[in-house]
Amino acid sequence: MTTTNAAAAALVGPGVDRVDGRLKVTGAARYPSDFTLPEMAYSALVRSTIAAGTIARIDTARAAAAPGVLAVITHDNAGRLHKAKWNLAYPPPPPPLQDAKITYNGQYVAMVVAETRQQAAAAARLVEVTYDRDEPVLSIEDPAARPKSNPYFLDMKRGNVKTAMAAAEVTVEGTFTTSAQTHNPIGPFTTVASWDRDTLTVYDSTQNPFLVRAVLAASFGLGEEKVRVLSPFVGGGFGAGLRSWPHSILAALAARTVNRPVQLSLTRPEMFTGIGRRPSTLQHLKIASARDGTLVAIEHEGTSTASMHSDSLYPITVGTIVSYACPNVTARDKRVRLNIPPIAHMRAPALAEGNFAVESLLDELSYELGMDPIELRLRNYAAVHPQTGLPWSSRALRECYKTGAERFGWAQREPAVRTMRDGRWLVGYGMAGVTFIQNHAKGQARATIRRDGTARVCSGATDIGTGTYTVMTQLAAEVLGLQADRIEFELGDTRLPWAPEAGGSGLTAALGSAVHNTCVALVKRVLGLVSDDPDSPLHGCAIEDVVASDGRLARSDDDSRGESYAEILQRHVLDSLTVDGDSAKPRGSTGVLVGSLAVSRLGRFGHKLIGASHATIPASAFGARFAEVRVDPELGVLRIARIVSVTDGGRIINQKLARSQLIGGTVGGIGMAMFEETVTDPGTGRVANATLSDYLVAVNADVPDIDVAFVGEPDPSNPIGAKGIGEVGLVGVAAAIANAVYHATGRRIRSLPITISQLL
């Protein structure tokens, strides 16, 4: 089956405008904070002012007597909340307000519920808490930091690194550090909770509504069918919404306590402690090569910080094992527990930090060898998956290097450091390669064709601003042969078919494949209605024999012989026809659904899991980043002049949205390289810069010309040919900038963010 009409054929690829754009610019899109229910009350939180210890006494009398207050809830009267089941990628939070133990500054110790938001906030300030303090552990280098037990296969290896290192002709090594960073989406996370007897309805800022449903159901001892989570619009996430957080549980607790709907909206300072952050990291890396640049051994050990409670999987070295064709590699991760807020995945988690170290040290090796940095990477190009020996389903990294170098003008680079100038400014060129690892998930969808010729397609996923509404509309319209405005796509409700989280750069491939397969099944169902109808021009046609266009199905060998959906449904006295489907690949297809991330996590056990019968490793995105910087040697001022970002993103469903994602990722990479750092007071564990005026992010004046290009072909590992690109744009940017700084100044940067003191 094909889609041939020009309008439908043009739906996938070109920059189709967002289908939800008008709702957003007119204010009609309803975010969780926009939902107002009858008799709704408001909650405000009281947070710990110490990082370690216990609550000795909590006095709520003044708060309870304040105007408008309906309830003050502490660990003394919260009642028992149950802990949800363990989740490998997104562990549930410890049930809040269950005991007097304090493990980080900013932990919730009380909650006030009042008639208005202002009354709740005012009363929360009246709660008096006395603590018995313990000495907190706050630094990754603190000798008191306890190693966190490691339940994952994160010690990955191949070959014999020790022997190869001893015999190597050239060796470089270094220690790299990256600072903690905090997600700062525009929309403060909000939960609105309402009970109807034993049924709970929640509007929540989340990227993972089905996980929130599971956690809330477990917390209150309910069946999941008794909990409904809605998130039709989310004001950004960057990974902060992948886990379920205590404030969502507390909103439901507050609503149950006062027997009224309750809204709980986090303040900006609470966003710094309540929804996770990127951990600080410490990495030691050693690379050995032959004199001709052939890599012979890589040893990479990464340490990241974790809170005192369970945190998400965070393998910094996971990309090292698959990026280059090196025969001897060890990649080891460990974590240390600190008295800090929970850790969460933040855009390109672990891969961004690991790439900074690997691509920086490779750049250092290129200078040691007197070799062009691109040539060094091409000489060690991984034509097959290095850990398994299986071919990638697709890989256009060579084209990324070639296209990026041409667009950037890499040939004009003077190889020696401190040789390029523009007046007083030192000029530097730097680059980095990117091998990304995305989540290869599954999803479900439902598709309905109506007698009026319109269609409704739905799934319970969320759209965090990346364009899921639009892309899924495009994919459905393409298969059904309808104009985009004839498709209604609905998401953000756990009563709809199950969908994975909007994270891990896996939603487009997972949900898009589900939408594609479901719409194909719907067309088959329509054809089934006329299969035994001798009066139908489609009599006896299989799906391979028809073309979908302009709301009708026609024979591929004679498009004059066909019928519209409306005609078929009307003749069979049907108002609509509905099909449920999922993203499972059709029978007889080749490839493997086990993703590169799973293989890398499992290390040497990965090949056994995949099995010899599978043909390929489903590839994620690949890329190359090129940066030009200017450094004032007297002032230590660093400016980014331009960045070229080239990505193998498989089939690009919407070029406008894809380009926007890559630009956004690049800006995030600039922030990682130059600005973003969550600063913790060394005495109290308090986040010292928990406002947008103190926490620096890249703004318009910091962002240079960004040239985005795509290369590669559709990836055959999924039916829509897509790869996830939501995160890959950030990876490699920091390394390219740091490498450009070295070329300009001769100073090797091994700690992020880059500061003036490092350049003076």
DSSP 3-state assignment of 170? strand
For the chain, residues with pLDDT lower than 70 are: 1-11, 148-154, 585-614
Task: Identify the three-state secondary structure at position 260.
Answer: coil
- Catalytic annotation, residues: 727
Query: Among 3.20.20.240, 3.40.309.10, 3.30.365.10, 3.40.50.720, what is the CATH number of 373-440+591-760?
Result: 3.30.365.10
For residues 3 and 549, the answer to whether their CB atoms sit within 8 Å is yes
CB 42 within 8 A of CB 263: yes
Cα–Cα distance for residue pair 178/672, rounded to 1 Å: 9
Topology agreement, domain 2-29+443-582 and domain 32-136+183-274: yes
Among left, alpha and beta (phi > 0; psi -120 to 50; other), residue 519 is alpha
Cis peptide before 753 (omega within 30 of 0): yes
| Rounded Cα–Cα distance for residues 315 and 303 (Å) | 9
User: What is the pLDDT at residue 616?
Assistant: 87
DSSP helix/strand/coil, 232: coil
If you write DSSP's letter for every residue of 95-142 in order, what string do you get?
A: PSSSSSEE-STT-EEEEEEESSHHHHHHHHTT-EEEEEE------TT-
Q: What pLDDT was estimated at residue 750?
A: 98
Euclidean distance between CA atoms 611 and 390, whole angstroms: 11
Q: Which strands make up the sheet holding 622-632, listed edge to edge? A: 421-422, 425-435, 622-632, 637-648, 705-711
- Residue 315 gets the label, from left (phi > 0), alpha (psi -120 to 50) or beta, of beta
Domain ranges of the chain: 2-29+443-582, 32-136+183-274, 373-440+591-760
Picking from 89, 360, 305, the residue whose alpha carbon sits closest to that of residue 181 is: 305
On whether the CB atoms of residues 444 and 579 are closer than 8 A, the answer is no
Who contacts 190 (Cβ-Cβ below 8 Å, separation ≥6)? 31, 32, 33, 203, 204, 205, 263, 264, 265, 266
Residue 615's pLDDT is 75
Tokens of 96: 């809040």
Residue with structure tokens 């100038």? 421
For the whole model, what pTM was predicted? 0.94
Class of the domain covering 32-136+183-274: alpha beta
Give the CA count within 13 Å in the CB-facing half-sphere of 270.
Answer: 20
Fold classified for 2-29+443-582: Aldehyde Oxidoreductase; domain 4 (3.30.365)
Helix, strand or coil, per DSSP, at residue 698 = coil
pLDDT, position 724: 95
